[in-house]
Chain A
Amino acid sequence: MNCNKDSVNHELNLYFDNSATSWPKPEAVYRAAELQMRQMCGNPGRSGHTRMLEADRLIYRTREALAALFKVDDPSRIIFALNATDALNIALKGFLKTGDHVIFTALEHNSVLRPLGTMRRNGLITTTMLPCSLEGYPDLEFLENAYQPQTSLLVINHASNVIGTVAPLRKMIESAHKKGVKVLVDAAQTAGTIDIDIADLDIDLLAFTGHKSLLGPTGTGGLYVKVGIDLKPLREGGTGSHSEIDLHPESMPERLEAGTLNSAGLAGLLEGINFIRETGLDQIREHETALRRSLREQLMEMRQITVYGPEEAAECAGSLSFTIRDTDCGEIGYILENNFGILCRTGLHCAPLAHQAFGTFPGGTIRLSPGFFTKAGDIQFLINAIREIVALTEKG
């Protein structure tokens, strides 16, 4: 998107693409990121002076806030990464060994499918795709029969970024653990809207991104790594400690964090998490579920429209997908933006296998993702716009 002042009038836009990145952010997020750049030096961990210590403290507090949010008692097990993609790469490439077998769901994002695809093509691993129903639920019976002696990892997308279906995490984790298989959860779509109790669910690895429902800036995200799991670091370099030896430190979190961290971004992320804590995750979830329910019901009233995913809004998070009979999704997205100022996302949403499962490949869907700052009136405006478009398509 071109954010040149003259070409975009933010006041007129209605934003329905929170699954891509959340917007707007809480005011405190913008302020904290700016303040961090203005007042504190940017190289945490590198020297003892007070400005840098301030940056170190801020990073520690952000880690602690994430640990509290995910119910992890040791914050050193949360490492920072660029985004969910980066965290998933760190997890997959650091965990998998030659000869391993991996099971992943059909709902996975390309940030899982592509690293796994590369490793498979290079002959390092073998994989099995766990199919899912039209509503986006993984086939648990298939899962029971998919384990092999070399299976080391099950990868689960916590919520589909196409239709929003939330995976039955607990059942899937219990199934994997019974076979001695570890579980990597992609929480890109759920961290910040769904309560994730890592300790209670017994999750082994969890990747999250800061710029979606956690309401932070882009360039933030991370990975939770359970005690006892040692990932081979993807990157090695400066950490501010043990500088005299050319051996990357063993101690977490530094082991998986080489280079200067994004302290301005993390300052913003901390405020995003604080906002969530103060507002209450339940409140956020309730608001988003109500919006989704209303959106879905009104879309379903139009006979030319197919809505994908579970009927019950409470079983979903984030994205809702639909198509209009005999129309091209990209074209509808273009009209929504140009005629109505409504921003959404059309196409395959980096999840080609999910679209194959829903029968929407290769045309894709129109994806709507309201967020916490979306109002009921925005939904009404959106529905009216879609009604107008549908009427137009009827005329031909």
Chain B
Amino acid sequence: MATNCYVTFPTIFYAIRAESLLKQKDFTFKMVPVPRSISSSCGTALRCACPDLSKIRQYLADHQTEMEGLYQLEEDGFKMPIVKELQSDELQ
């Protein structure tokens, strides 16, 4: 079992912009295909450790990067994960 958080984007432009901005700072994250259990306009999502999500979201919001959704997934191998959609105001 592992818990991961995901950020989805409206378009690939914003996915790549997010990657490019975060790479210039010391954020830990990975760009991945959007998990099948969540729906997104753009096929590429950002995966990070859940405690980092709030900082990452704030940094992107401060740097003209549109996001679509925030998710927390309980992942267990090939089983369907348990998905929780997060609202930005729920993040500390």
Contact = CB atoms under 8 A, between A and B. Distances in A.
Interface of A: 44-49, 53, 56-57, 59-61, 63-64, 73-76, 239-242, 249, 251-254
Contacts of A240: 11-12, 42-43
B33 A76 contact: no
B56 interface: no
A73 B65 CA distance: 12
A53 B44 CA distance: 9
30 contacts: A45-B11, A45-B12, A45-B43, A48-B31, A48-B32, A48-B34, A48-B43, A49-B33, A53-B16, A53-B31, A56-B12, A56-B15, A56-B44, A59-B16, A60-B16, A60-B17, A76-B13, A76-B17, A239-B11, A240-B11, A240-B43, A241-B11, A241-B42, A249-B10, A251-B10, A251-B11, A251-B13, A252-B13, A254-B11, A254-B13
A63 B42 CA distance: 19
Contact of A60 (B20, B32, B42, B43): B20
B87 interface: no
A44 B13 CA distance: 10
B21 to A, nearest CB: 10
A141 B34 CA distance: 58
B64 A241 contact: no
A48, A49, A76 pick with most chain B CB within 10 angstroms: A48
Contact of A48 (B19, B33, B64, B66): B33
A48 B30 CA distance: 12
- Most chain B CB within 10 A, of A74, A241, A251, is at A241
A56 B9 CA distance: 14
Given A57-B20, A249-B41, 18 more contacts: A44-B12, A45-B12, A48-B33, A53-B44, A56-B15, A57-B16, A57-B19, A60-B17, A60-B20, A61-B20, A76-B17, A240-B11, A241-B41, A241-B42, A241-B43, A249-B10, A251-B10, A252-B13
